[in-house]
Structure 1
Amino acid sequence: MPSRRITLLWFGLFCALAVAFSWPLPLHLSTHLTGAPSGDTGVYVWNLWVFRHEVLQHHVPLHTGTVLSLAPRVDLTLHNYTLFMDALAFPLIGPLGLLRTFNLVYLAMMALTAWCTARLAHRLCGRNWESWLAGVAFAFSPVLMARSTAHFSLVAAAPLPVMLLIMVNGEGKGRARDAMALGATLAWAAFCDIYYAVYGALLISAWVFASAIALSRREAPVRSAFVRRLTRGLVIIAATFVAIVAVQGGLIQFAGLRISMRSLYTPMLVLTVLVIAHLMVVWPPTVQWRYRFRPSHPRLAMVMALTAAVLLSPVLVAYGGRLAAGQMTGPDIYWRSSPPGVDLLAFVMPNPNSPWFGSAWKAWIESQRVDGFAELTAALPLVVLAVIAVAWYWAGWRPQRRRWLWMPVTFAAIALGPFVHVAGINTYIPGPWALLRYVPIVGLARSPSRFVVLVSLGVALLFAMALVAIGERWPHRRRIVLAAVTALLLLELSPVPRQLYAGTIPAPFHRIAEDPRSDVRVLQLPIGVRDGTSSLGNFNPLTQYQQTVHGKRLVGGYLSRVTLAQKRSLLRYPVLDALVTLSAQGASVPLADAQRRRAYASRDRFLLNTRVAYVVTDDQDTSPELRAFAEDLLRLEKVMTSDGYTLYMPHADRAAVEQAFMSAPLR
């Protein structure tokens, strides 16, 4: 292991690089962010605020009543809550402020991820400079830098290399302390991002699988010639059928038989299965079982599981309560309903974060979907790939353990999603995710594109090993090679200057903050409930970012996962049912007469029961019909208009309450 002086030097250099690669953010720590607060960035800032808010209110911070406040306190266990970062930020928010603390924690997570990766790389290759470069190649990779514009929880990837380091150090030793450390790190991963808990479990499973089974390829025996011809013929027939469907459409007539096929999904599935079957006949795999059972193995597995369970017990209890109540939030999984993965060519594209040559590639990724840059960036540094290629072809290098090669390849295949896309074209070829998304626990990581984090980590480790191999092959040129690779890598990875987004909160929300009452609510239009896969009405996550200033409860809300009951909590109030309808549809579809009558009949009791003290309209997104209806329905009195928002105060007629429709009581 490297000396303490070296590891401290590494961490210092990583901190300096985090500051340099985020420039000019260090000049605007208290006012700007690297992602738009109207997107996921604002929700991650809100995570830090709501954690502190609940703790100061003497509540368990795994539930909150600050959003979706007309429903029972909402469970945050399946929200991307970033508990590890929330806890780090808790003592800093008071003296430093929310935005400055958020940015400092973000910079610290980059440095910590790089440092942990360098420690793992040193354990594998034993060289200081090469190990430091591996930390740079992962923590400041295009994959993680793109995620830092929206998915900040994914930047806290330090638990992943730590898990691998523990398994490398403890392999074959059977020590209980290693099992405890692995369980604790798995819990740490879950506190960073629920995806990383799944990834950690997959890394552990892959490590055990690689240790227990050895696969090799052998020539097919002569007696399988007939089977080879049969499978080859079936492949040709299936390929011909696919070609016909692709050329002339989904209707085929053959010998009076009409075959209708609306898409290539099923034909390509059949063709893929036949090709795999043919390859297994031609080159049948040989499986060598190398696992040797020891009585300590079940005990170590139990120690690891118990350690993780104890540390995660608050989350597991809350999640268990959700299971018992039948309040699972996952979307129904159908054959083609999964989010897409990354494009195959995205792995080898130039760095889209680069201000010099990345704009065209960034535009191409963003054209694929609204959040394409933060979700679909998969670029592996070209310098890293070039070093691996040189070591492979000219230095004769091969990893000592095949697992370091096939693990990133496997995760890359998963990251392609349910169907492989190449240059933006859907090939309809099913990938491993087409099946894995149905597997319990694994399916919680519902966005396959994020598996590129594991790919980037694996490639960074191969990069360090390849650099060592090149240095050993040409030792007299090692320093020159390392200096050149360092310069080229830093140049390729540099995203400077970073695009920054103002974190200023408009004046109407500061006006609300002046109200000393803590039990009132804010209703912002358009209104709705949103989660990671669906939306009821139209709720802007920016609303929760603005809540960090005024601190009042919100009627709607956004969480990564929301139950159907929580979504319906708004619709049981006729007033909100009408407002949600107009928020989603605007003026394109008129409000039903029955909805309108129920809303007017129940408005006064609604306002008195819910204690909605303020109504805010986003002037750009609020349609004229929605504004006019809300002003008349809630008897809105304009307080101020500023920075694109209008602040109102609603008024209830107490004398009319007894004549109003009875709304559901506030829980």
Structure 2
Amino acid sequence: MRLIWRLIALLLYAGLAILLTWPLAAYVTAAVPGNAFDSWQNMWNMWWLRTALLEGVNPYFTPMLYHPQGTSLLLQTLNPINFLTSLPVHFFFGLTAAYNFAILLNLTLSGFFAYLLAEDVTGDRRAALIGGVVFATSGYLLAQVLGGHTHMTAAWPLPLAVLMLRYAYRRPSLVMIVLAGAALALNMLADWQYFLFALIWAGWYALWMLFAPGTSQMQAQSKANGVMGRISTILPLVGAVVVALVLTSPLIIATARVAAVTPTAATEGGPDFRREQSLDLADLVIPSQIHPVWGSLAEQAQVYKANTHIQNKTAYLGVIALILGLLGLRGRESLFWLVSMVLFITLALGPVLQVAGWQSGIPMPATLLFELPLVGIFRYPIRFVVLAVLALAMLAAYGTLWLLTGRHGATTANSEPRKAQRRAGIAAWILVPALIVLLVIDNLTVPFPIVGIYIPSIYHELAADPDDFALLEAPFYYTTSPFYMLYQIIHEKPLVGGYTSRRMPYTILEELPLIRMFAYAEPAPDIIAQDMPTIAASLFDYFDIRYVMIHSAGGALQFTPMQEVAQAAAGGAEPRREGATFVASDARSASGLLRPLTLGDQEPAGAVLTYRVVPPSDPLPFLGIGEGWEAPEEDGTQIVRTMQADAATIVIYSAKPRQVTLTLTLTIPAAESLQVTIGATTLTTIPLEAGRQTVQVPLDLEAGKTEVVLRSATSGTVQAEEVDLMFRSTP
């Protein structure tokens, strides 16, 4: 009978997953749900993991992004769990089907493991069905589908871990402790944030079992044995955490090291980003804006978060789930779940209390959490809501149990007279389906926004080119960035830049103003005097960048200097132009969602201009700004940089040996000397006078990158306003 009930539960949650994301299942190989933004990044994750598996390389480092240096993916939402669970689908039906399968499977398993947990908590399979429905149909999970956050939809390891911790506590053994630790660690394969949540839950559960009023025989016996007896009861939980940390320690240590050298790990988005991505108390009672009926009302009610994406502001607990949860509070056993819900809502509130947009200024406990090592890179406190919803699901199961039996504790077949059991059975056939329907209506998302996959023909043509070369898609730090990841799945060529969960340190971006211009589609004023159109072909050819694509998004096609540089690199040839993508939903509001029941003919959006770089017959050396300089700033009509300390670097890239003269226009407040070195060799020491002056340094360049270090006798006083190269001859 247990197996039959579990099969019924699995089919129920699979059906709900298909229903609430419809019409996705009808276009499983041709479209994806949501706003077609992070969807492409997470599809790329699955493609890259398959590539790494087939090539036998480290999946946490890729040479396909941030060309030519490559980049770590330890801070990326790589979510290997989705790749692993969808691998057979990926093999037989392709990447798009695998991506959609992962989403449907995640929703299904989230309901199923919440069902198993609720069955363990209440002892009633009928009530457990409702607990699973509350979790699987929650506004939070469905909003993550809209946002393309497959790593966040993979929430099912959380109820699994909670369940295994309960088993380890009640039936402690080495096997059970290891299994509970493995269940905790499994969350790391979904997302490191969920692993953090699971560890916090384990600690909280241990504290509750240590100090809260006991209800079990084990707790009663432990109290009789004093403090040590109570501590002994939570040792299995401690052991499970240790096992989880041991299993995940290689990833944790490696991630901590990368985070330490990634300036944007904790600060990307700005100083208020974490507060903006925190729970507002009003969010708990405002329905999801994906709802087809009252989504527009929710948009008006949530005007205080008008510019926040729906997936980052949906925390609706649900009217039906809250009513059931209130009914479930009648028993003492439900107290733990109530306090758990309050605890994780409190953490979701982030650094300060917010109510309907009002900034109270009252600091919240999560502020202390963000000061912990590595936890500081966590930027979305609202995601703690997932465990609050799980706790509410258990309360709703208790409430359903009370409606069915008038009891709150675990039930058995002999706990009621047979006639009463029959009446309860009949009532259950009416009540449980009715509650499921009400819960679905409360969180309805049909028709779910979907968008078809469009790949411009140029990328298919590049895929057929067997040569190794890179592409520069511009602007590569803009909202079009995820599309480049989608296109890379087709052409399989390295990209300059890339859309990663954190912007990683990128040498050529920091050194070369021309690359910065293409990154942001805006001017990149600096002290380098070289003419960009003149050096463009040499620069692109040096880094094996064969194609430059300029996309219309963000007004890039109106920024003519970038097109002029690209056209100069293409030898003056006109670009090829074609459509870039389809119009997709704006996931910031209900009014921005596109939700047809059929895919139909989608409206094209944007354009891409393709320039093929013509390699120069005599490539020119070009300059970059190395370490040791302040950021460029305006000084009247002049752009200047100041040395940060007593040394700063000018870099020179040259495809072949060259004899050049480095020309520097400097300003200093008092007379001193400037030492010029390459490696361990001092080339010259130049006496400088107070004021503005130009100095020249003859250089014999070797092929490759040359770092010219300027050393000043006094730190922070040398100001450069122009750096240039004069070409003498080629040896």
- Provide, for residues 184-213 of structure 1, a one-character-per-residue CA deviation record: whole Å limited to 9, x for no partner: 112210100111010010010000111112
Distance in 2 between residues matched to 1:390 and 1:25, nearest whole Å: 36
More strand by share: 2
Q: Which range is displaced more, 419-428 or 592-601?
A: 592-601
Shift of 1:111: 0.6
Which of 268, 281, 286 is the equivalent residue of 1:349?
286
CA contact (8 A) 2:111 2:136 kept: yes
Counterpart residue number, 2:653: 663
- Provide, for residues 215-255 of structure 1, a one-character-per-residue CA deviation record: whole Å limited to 9, x for no partner: 89xxxxxxxxxxxxxxxxxxxxxxxxxxxxxxxxxxxxxxx
Counterpart residue number, 2:298: 361
Counterpart residue number, 2:274: 338
CA contact (8 A) 1:143 1:379 kept: yes
SS of structure 2 residue aligned to 1:79: coil
Shift of 1:376: 1.1
CA contact (8 A) 1:573 1:663 kept: no
Inter-CA distance 129–214: structure 2 relative to 1 (3 Å threshold): closer
Inter-CA distance 408–88: structure 2 relative to 1 (3 Å threshold): same
* Structure 1 unaligned regions, length at least 5: 217-288, 529-536
Which structure 2 residues correspond to residues 172-191 of structure 1 after superposition, within 5 A? 172-191=170-189
Which structure 2 residues correspond to residues 451-490 of structure 1 after superposition, within 5 A? 451-473=384-406, 478-479=427-428, 480-490=430-440
- 1:579 matched to 2:515? The reply is no
Which structure 2 residues correspond to residues 556-567 of structure 1 after superposition, within 5 A? 556-563=497-504, 566-567=505-506
Which structure 2 residues correspond to residues 23-172 of structure 1 after superposition, within 5 A? 23-37=22-36, 39-71=37-69, 73-150=70-147, 151-172=149-170
CA contact (8 A) 2:537 2:570 kept: no
Inter-CA distance 321–349: structure 2 relative to 1 (3 Å threshold): closer
TM-score, length of structure 2 as denominator length: 0.72
- 1:527 matched to 2:476? The reply is yes
Counterpart residue number, 1:427: 360
CA contact (8 A) 2:541 2:613 kept: no
- Tell me how many residue pairs correspond in the alignment: 570
Distance in 2 between residues matched to 1:130 and 1:297, nearest whole Å: 28
Give percent identity, aligned residues only: 23
What is the one-letter code of the residue matched to 1:133? I
- Provide, for residues 271-317 of structure 1, a one-character-per-residue CA deviation record: whole Å limited to 9, x for no partner: xxxxxxxxxxxxxxxxxx9663667976874565245523x355246
Counterpart residue number, 2:337: 404
Inter-CA distance 101–493: structure 2 relative to 1 (3 Å threshold): same
Which of 312, 316, 330 is the equivalent residue of 1:379?
316
- Provide, for residues 308-350 of structure 1, a one-character-per-residue CA deviation record: whole Å limited to 9, x for no partner: 523x355246336537x84575325999663331221111223
What is the one-letter code of the residue matched to 1:561? R
Which structure 2 residues correspond to residues 229-628 of structure 1 after superposition, within 5 A? 292=229, 301-302=238-239, 304-306=241-243, 308-310=245-247, 312=248, 315-316=251-252, 318-319=254-255, 322=258, 326-327=261-262, 329-332=264-267, 338-340=274-276, 341-362=278-299, 364-365=301-302, 368-392=305-329, 397-400=330-333, 402-473=335-406, 478-479=427-428, 480-517=430-467, 519-528=468-477, 540-563=481-504, 566-580=505-519, 583=520, 586=522, 591-592=524-525, 594-595=527-528, 597=530, 599-600=532-533, 602-621=535-554, 622=556, 623-628=558-563
Distance in 2 between residues matched to 1:378 and 1:40, nearest whole Å: 20
Inter-CA distance 416–625: structure 2 relative to 1 (3 Å threshold): same
SS of structure 2 residue aligned to 1:505: coil
Distance in 2 between residues matched to 1:144 and 1:299, nearest whole Å: 31
TM-score, length of structure 1 as denominator length: 0.79
Shift of 1:619: 2.3
Ranked by relative contact order (alpha carbons within 8 Å, sequence separation 6 or more), the top structure is 1
Inter-CA distance 55–481: structure 2 relative to 1 (3 Å threshold): closer
- 1:650 matched to 2:613? The reply is yes
What is the one-letter code of the residue matched to 1:400? E
Distance in 2 between residues matched to 1:361 and 1:179, nearest whole Å: 44
What is the one-letter code of the residue matched to 2:471? V
Distance in 1 between residues matched to 2:228 and 2:400, nearest whole Å: 32
Counterpart residue number, 2:701: none
CA contact (8 A) 2:139 2:317 kept: yes
For the pair shown, the structure with the greater C-alpha radius of gyration is 2
Inter-CA distance 443–290: structure 2 relative to 1 (3 Å threshold): farther
Distance in 2 between residues matched to 1:607 and 1:335, nearest whole Å: 35
SS of structure 2 residue aligned to 1:663: strand
More helix by share: 1
Distance in 1 between residues matched to 2:251 and 2:263, nearest whole Å: 15
What is the one-letter code of the residue matched to 2:486? Y
What is the one-letter code of the residue matched to 2:355? V
Distance in 1 between residues matched to 2:360 and 2:539, nearest whole Å: 53
Counterpart residue number, 2:201: 203
- 1:634 matched to 2:569? The reply is yes
Shift of 1:509: 2.1
Q: Which range is displaced more, 333-342 or 350-359?
A: 333-342
SS of structure 1 residue aligned to 2:76: coil
- Provide, for residues 160-183 of structure 1, a one-character-per-residue CA deviation record: whole Å limited to 9, x for no partner: 111111122222443112221122
Counterpart residue number, 1:237: none
Distance in 2 between residues matched to 1:313 and 1:550, nearest whole Å: 35
Distance in 2 between residues matched to 1:85 and 1:666, nearest whole Å: 41
Distance in 2 between residues matched to 1:382 and 1:303, nearest whole Å: 36
Shift of 1:50: 1.1
SS of structure 2 residue aligned to 1:148: helix
CA contact (8 A) 1:343 1:421 kept: yes
CA contact (8 A) 2:184 2:244 kept: no
CA contact (8 A) 1:49 1:98 kept: yes
Shift of 1:101: 1.1
SS of structure 1 residue aligned to 2:290: coil
- Provide, for residues 439-479 of structure 1, a one-character-per-residue CA deviation record: whole Å limited to 9, x for no partner: 23443432111111111111011000111122222975743
Distance in 2 between residues matched to 1:470 and 1:102, nearest whole Å: 39
